[in-house]
Structure 1
């Protein structure tokens, strides 16, 4: 059999590359004669830089120290391609795992703006920014402030960083905002959420960042206030990505919102890999209904269905049936508990690859 192993990262426990290698190891333990190709994927969140770097060995990896989402310094990596395209990953500078403790009201994206400005100063003429895994719900105002935007209250004073401060927003000053690069800014998003409302950034993702009901309501109102002054298209699918960062960069920096999973898949050559394949083996940390709204596994299921290639899924947790797959296994079920699965993710990923190989061989 020709098998394409194309997982997403297992957030916080295994990179997409580590997951691919472990799944392949388990599969080959049962079927050593199969032709197995590794194709780690990403959707704009954690692992996006690694996916680009694997597909583009001519990319130059650089790092810069920036303020993290809670102000503490972090080292953020980015890529510079030979055509002067810079690839940035918000998770590197402003991701939730970088927080010492949750701060849903004060966390910000300022570091992302510093990385973007660094890339422009280095001669980048186009930016590709992966948006995913953010710690904040600030509408991207932190990043825009690092690029020169000023936010004032009704007394003309600068607002502090963070989403909650936007409730006091009275005026936007774009005088010193650095213009976007001539080649444009492409945003890679993994969600279809609008900026505000019941399906918006604060309501849907705020609780994951530590926001309780009152804080969610405050942040939703804050984003609405920002949209009242910034204009743009707050209802656009994906505008709510990364706590509304997609909206802010689109409205004030003319960025273009695009599906991250499909873009990365095109870059790494998923279409070519599916030609002649007998099976795709994919996975992610948790499969649930959100997996089908622009994330790697959902996008891969669609692409494989179009190519007529069956898909098997290994996930840390499987919450319900996986539409379009021929088999699915849960690492938590294999390991016996969530803690056991998290303590040895690559061990259980290999077990999952072996289990899927046995199951499909019998089938």
Structure 2
């Protein structure tokens, strides 16, 4: 049995960015995940369910667990002293840590503290998503928003924690995707899946078909393609949609499939957050042999303009994303 800490140390020479500071940063995320996992498992027994009575900058109602997860991770990252600041889906503006760390910290972290939090009330899996970059401002000077507005291909590391029937931490530093399952009896994350790759063949598509009438024509055509009978391509495909990006992505990563959250009439620019959700998941997908686009462009090549920027999102097995992109290009609205 190999723990997350042991694995990182063992693989440091292979990982291009595996410095001691990055190891400490991932350890902080690991600690935060343990605390969040503990309280999620008490949902219904302690007062952490339901809405918090506030809204985030996108106007979405915050759940009590959203706020708790955000504060837990923020405190864990600040305590390590290697992070200059964070940007979070639950924060209106970037958060700069203490003066010394803001000038000396080498990294910035962007995160969705609790993806799918509304599902907690009905005991459905949720997750934490994180993205790590080297700051681009000079060490010794204050950090700025530009440290966070970097394209996804510049990520140093990214990953997610899924809180489900078991709790797993899945991450990449640009040398493959590795997954660790939490053993609560020992209090450690143990290596359970090394060098995870998308399967070569799969028949699952994940999309909220309740919004079908509001989808772009290309997405509608792709859904019909998925539902057609064709033995050669193993169609019709199976529809599986949980409504939690981490949960849907995790299933498709292990079992094969594609996840789609396109733009709609209500969200013409898409709903998935580029910096907090799309970029880290795209990095993981590519490292696992998959692909991620906005229907036309590689997600990791998009130049961010705003902290809370949204994007349409197509991610999963490369062949399936290729097919979806083909329909998007052919039936461009």
More helix per residue: 1 or 2? 1
More strand per residue: 1 or 2? 2
Whether TM exceeds 0.5 here: the answer is: no
Higher relative contact order (CA 8 A, sep 6+): 1
Larger radius of gyration: 1
**Shorter-chain TM-score range:** under 0.3
